[in-house]
Structure 1
Amino acid sequence: MLETTKYDNLDALSLHELASNIKDWGEGLGFQEVAIVKPDLDQASQRLRLWLDNSYQGSMNWMSEHGDKRYNVDKLVARTLRVITVRMDYLADENMVAVLKDKNKAYISRYALGRDYHKLIRKRLAELTRKIEQHLPHLNLSQRPFVDSAPVMEKPLAEQAGLGWIGKNSLLINSKVGSWFFLGEIYTSVPLPVDNLEQPNRCGNCRACIKVCPTDAFPEPYVLDARKCISYQTIENKDSIPESFRPLMGNRVFGCDDCQIICPWNRGAPKTKEMDFSPRHNLDNSDLLTLFKWPESEFLSKTEGSPIRRIGYQRWLRNLAVGLGNAEGSEKILQQLEQTMPDVSDMVKEHVNWAIQQQRQKLATIAE
């Protein structure tokens, strides 16, 4: 039954037509899929509370903030009745494994190679929101778009809408396209007809993502301990990376995609149609040493409009220092690390010093 309070002049046919239009408009704006859901986040909220009770969020304190706004949608946006969920593919290359295997290359998570997705998707969702408002100019709508920027449980919402299922790696997996996509949402007060075509969980007995994780960050299937995740350590962690994790990071200097690369559902994943997600400045295939030599001005210039910019120059150097410590033994690398020592923060010096020790040990072994 459609909720028609405040919308008595909208009949079921009009709402179905609007829902169809929203999907057409979304496709025209570059979204690969648009679905509508009547949110029910009770189970998701219980899982979140258990996850927080285990302190798996690490220093991401915002995960426990905002009270029940995260799962009571009308407390975040007044009068919300539906959530329009969208997805947009972002994979732009197939060179991941080759880069990971080359110890002298820098591996950057594929979502971060091009333009910052927040800006691109937020702009498209804002346009979709305007189209809905223009279609219903006589109504006082309550609507707001989101892109990974507010207390929104985007994966459970997308799962309920039928965009995929939450896999053992805690990511949303779609049976047709895998998991290389971004999500976005529009909270709306319009009582649109819902899709609610949930995809069945098809992970089965597969444990590939759990086994491949370099840092053993999955205490159990479907549960991620962020504190052990390389993405957390290289992006969210503002302090020193625990020494025990450094050798396990390999050449992963911004994020980690191992649990996506290994996933069978990502075989044949589609390439993105968005040119803005294409790699910039050869970041999909750069040497660690080349990136480590960037002065701060070059870092700021080449990460303008990129999600990489958010970690700042010092953490960029910190991550690269770890990568250089894990690289093949090289006098050039050792020399550059030693030259850099006087000019970086104390936090970075710790990691550079660690990398110097690793390089010296490797070079000594080569000399024997």
Structure 2
Amino acid sequence: MNNKADQFAQIIKTQAKSLGFDFCGIAKAEFLEEEAPKLEAWLNKNYQGKMSYMANHFDKRLDPTKLVDGAKTVISLIYNYFPEKRLPEDSDDFKIAKYAYGQDYHYVIKEKLKILLENLKSEIGDFGGRAFVDSAPVMERQWAQRSGLGWLGKNSLLLNRQMGSFFFLAELIIDLEVTSDPPMVKDYCGTCTRCLDACPTDAIVQPGLVDGSRCISYFTIELKEEIPQEVKGKFENWVFGCDICQDVCPWNRFSQAHKEPKFDPHPELRDFNQKDWNEITEETFNKVFSKSAIKRTKFGGLLRNLRFIQQ
């Protein structure tokens, strides 16, 4: 690699850190050859369930040059969302995934990526590129692993030795040649099977392979119809998303509280108990979750989830 590419890598990492990203890794933009048969097999088994969008843009998922013309580099970024305090404190109350406590991460992080791109262009000069936050066919965990940020755990999530897995992943795909980081080739899960053992719906069918259509997050967020009776009594009070496989992961003992005020819960949400959830009106839903990812399930979807758990 040339000195310029090394210099670009340093600038990118410094700028990412200044915007609050915890880690930044760089990989060469190329076709994900190893992932193609895995993705095809996963789709053929219908592990995407009703998430039909997962079968779209197969070629784009595997080839970043189809997303950004002349792409040469994929920059992967980690942004912490681990809360200072988990909600609710009483484990018998209804639970929502930690990533949804505060404002919708799509907007919070997209804004940061926009600033990052602008800052890089003002320091490096003009170049082409796009920012991605879980909103386009990008295999973000695989790119993060390729850029040395972590390995794919048995629950298929990216695990980082310094901070576990309670973080968001985001990418910049750019047409600039930048020095890559070495990929993470070691798997630090060892013989641990805590995530497999803890999943109440047996969504983790084998180490590293998740049947998305059996995941509590899928049932409570993605599925738009009635939840199948076969998973009745298995939700452990999760009304939006699920953190079980992360909560039991030993690597998450290294999680530290985030420093992003926008990810702090809405004041009213802090004290929500079962009574509040059961008496929630559409007006309260719109007020408390107006900027939250929980909007995705819509008011009717939330009522369906509450009904299903309690029937």
- What band does the TM-score fall into relative to the shorter chain? over 0.9
Deviation at 1:160, TM superposition (A): 0.6
Structure 2 residue matching 1:244: 3-state secondary structure: helix
Counterpart CA distance in 1 for 2:184 and 2:157 is 15
Counterpart CA distance in 2 for 1:192 and 1:306 is 35
Deviation at 1:198, TM superposition (A): 1.3
Q: Deviations over 1:254-286 (max 9, x none)?
A: 011000000011113111111111122353552
C-alpha contact 1:288 1:320 (8 A) present in aligned 2? no
Counterpart CA distance in 2 for 1:269 and 1:309 is 26
- Letter of the 2:122 counterpart: Q
C-alpha contact 2:88 2:273 (8 A) present in aligned 1? no
Aligned residue in 1 for 2:110? 122
Aligned residue in 2 for 1:159? 145
Q: 1:93 to 1:319 in 2, by over 3 A?
A: farther
- Letter of the 1:322 counterpart: F
C-alpha contact 1:148 1:184 (8 A) present in aligned 2? yes
Unaligned runs of 5+ in 2: none
Deviation at 1:14, TM superposition (A): 2.6
Identity over the aligned pairs, expressed in percent?
Answer: 37
Aligned residue in 2 for 1:262? 248
Q: Relative CO higher for 1 or 2, CA cutoff 8 Å, sep ≥ 6? A: 2
> Among residues 105, 112, 127, which one is paired with 2:100 in the alignment?
112
C-alpha contact 2:157 2:165 (8 A) present in aligned 1? yes
C-alpha contact 1:154 1:185 (8 A) present in aligned 2? yes
Structure 1 residue matching 2:239: 3-state secondary structure: strand
Deviation at 1:98, TM superposition (A): 5.1
Deviation at 1:135, TM superposition (A): 2.6
Deviation at 1:244, TM superposition (A): 1.9
> Among residues 50, 57, 60, which one is paired with 1:66 in the alignment?
57
Deviation at 1:68, TM superposition (A): 0.2
Q: Deviations over 1:281-325 (max 9, x none)?
A: 3535522231221211111111111000111110011111223x1
C-alpha contact 2:88 2:272 (8 A) present in aligned 1? no
> Among residues 226, 231, 235, which one is paired with 2:217 in the alignment?
231
C-alpha contact 2:269 2:288 (8 A) present in aligned 1? no
C-alpha contact 1:39 1:160 (8 A) present in aligned 2? no
> Among residues 10, 16, 29, which one is paired with 1:20 in the alignment?
10
Counterpart CA distance in 2 for 1:134 and 1:53 is 45
C-alpha contact 2:82 2:99 (8 A) present in aligned 1? yes
Deviation at 1:77, TM superposition (A): 0.9
C-alpha contact 1:163 1:174 (8 A) present in aligned 2? yes
In the TM superposition, 1:118-157 aligns within 5 A as 118-137=106-125, 139=126, 141-157=127-143
The root-mean-square deviation of aligned C-alpha atoms, in Å, is 1.6
Aligned residue in 2 for 1:30? 20
Higher Rg: 1
Aligned residue in 2 for 1:308? 294
Deviation at 1:13, TM superposition (A): 2.1
Deviation at 1:85, TM superposition (A): 0.6
TM-score, normalization by structure 2: 0.95
C-alpha contact 1:165 1:174 (8 A) present in aligned 2? yes
Counterpart CA distance in 2 for 1:219 and 1:94 is 31
- The list of structure 1 runs, each at least 4 consecutive aligned residues, that deviate by more than 3 angstroms after superposition, is 93-99, 281-285
In the TM superposition, 1:1-368 aligns within 5 A as 2=1, 12-40=2-30, 41-95=32-86, 99=90, 101-102=91-92, 105-137=93-125, 139=126, 141-198=127-184, 200-283=186-269, 286-323=272-309, 325=310, 355=311
Q: Deviations over 1:53-87 (max 9, x none)?
A: 10000011111101301111101111101001100
C-alpha contact 1:116 1:306 (8 A) present in aligned 2? yes
Deviation at 1:93, TM superposition (A): 3.2
C-alpha contact 1:87 1:181 (8 A) present in aligned 2? yes
Unaligned runs of 5+ in 1: 3-11, 326-354, 356-368
C-alpha contact 1:107 1:284 (8 A) present in aligned 2? no
- Letter of the 1:17 counterpart: Q
Deviation at 1:190, TM superposition (A): 0.4
Q: Which moved more, 1:148-157 or 1:63-72?
A: 63-72
- Letter of the 1:318 counterpart: R
Count of residue correspondences = 310
Q: 1:282 to 1:44 in 2, by over 3 A?
A: farther
